[in-house]
Amino acid sequence: MIPLLEISDLVKAFRGVRAVDGASFAVQAGSITGLIGPNGSGKSTAIDCISGFQRADAGRVHLDGTAIDGLPPQRIARAGLTRTFQDVRVYDTYTVLENLLVVAKPFATTNWADAFLRTQKFRETHGQAEARALDLIDLVGLTRLTHAPALILSYGQKKLLAFAAAMMSNPSIVVLDEPVAGVNPTRVNEVAEIVRAANRGGTTFLIIEHNVDFITSLCDHVIVFDRGRKLTEGPPAEVHRDPLVLDAYLGVEPGHEPHLARAG
C-alpha cells in the first residue's frame, strides 16, 4: 500500500551541519502518527522542508504518490498538506470566524470579479466556507466566541483556532507542530479528543510533540528522530520501552526508564 506521505533521504544542512541527515519515513492514510525526538534531533527542520517553508538540499517528498518537494507552501497546502506552528499564528484583530474565512480565500474557486459583483458562484462559495468554519469552530469548542476578536483568546484557545484554520481546506493530512506545548492538562486532553474526532472524519495527522505521554495515548504509530534521521519506529508502547529511544533522550540504561514526557 502506498503511504499517504512518504519522505525519502531528506537532507538539510546549515553551514555544513546536517540538521536533517538522510531521513526517510512514511505516514499511512487514516493514521495518527507521532514524530518525537530530543531537542536538536531535526524534527522541526524536517517538517519545514516537507511543508515547503524551507527548501531541502536533497531528498524526495511524495503526497499521495505525487512529488511535492521543492513546491512553495501554498501549492503544498493546495495539494492537501497543511500545518500548524509552534508559535501560534492568528489574526488578533479579526474575529474567530473571520480568521477561518481568511484562510479559506486562497482555496476558493472564485476570482476578484465574482467577489466584486457578488455573483451566485461567489455567494455559494462564501456560504460553503462559512458553514465549514462554523462546523470547525464547534469542533474545537469555540462556538461562544465565534464573533469575538482573536485578541481575547487564551493561548490554548489560540492553538485551537490555529488547528481549525489548518482544517479549513479539508486537507488529506495535517501536521501539528507541538499542539499541546504550554497548555494546561485539561486542554491537553481536549486537544486529544479533537484530533480523534477529526481523524474519525477522515483526516490523517502527523504530530510533532515533546509530550510523549500525549503521543503514546493518542497515536497509532510513532517515529523517533535522533541526529537528523529516523532512529526507530513502531507502536507507541514498544517505542516507549525501546533502549535506543531511552538512550537518545537521556542516555540511560535499559531498566531505568525515565518519564519521557519530561525530556527535551
**Tens-place pLDDT, residues 204-228:** 999 999 888 899 899 999 999 999 9
C-alpha cell at 79: 495539494
Burial of 78 (C-beta count, 10 Å sphere; 0-12/13-18/19+): middle
Assigned CATH for 5-88+171-262 = 3.40.50.300
Q: Any idea where the domains of the chain sit in the sequence? A: 5-88+171-262, 91-152
Report d(CA 94, CA 24) in Å as an integer: 40
Least confident interval from 31-35, 60-64, 128-132, 140-144: 128-132
For the chain, how many residues are written? 264
Q: Is the pLDDT of residue 9 over 80?
A: yes
| Higher-confidence position of 178 and 104 | 178
- Mean pLDDT confidence for 31-54: 95
When pLDDT is cut at 50, 70 and 90, the band that residue 107 belongs to is: low
Write down the residue that cell numbers 513502531 correspond to: 234
* pLDDT, the chain, mean: 88
**Tens-place pLDDT, residues 55-86:** 999 999 999 999 999 999 999 999 999 999 99
Q: Is the pLDDT of residue 112 over 70?
A: no
Residue pair 229/12 in contact by the 8 Å Cβ criterion: no
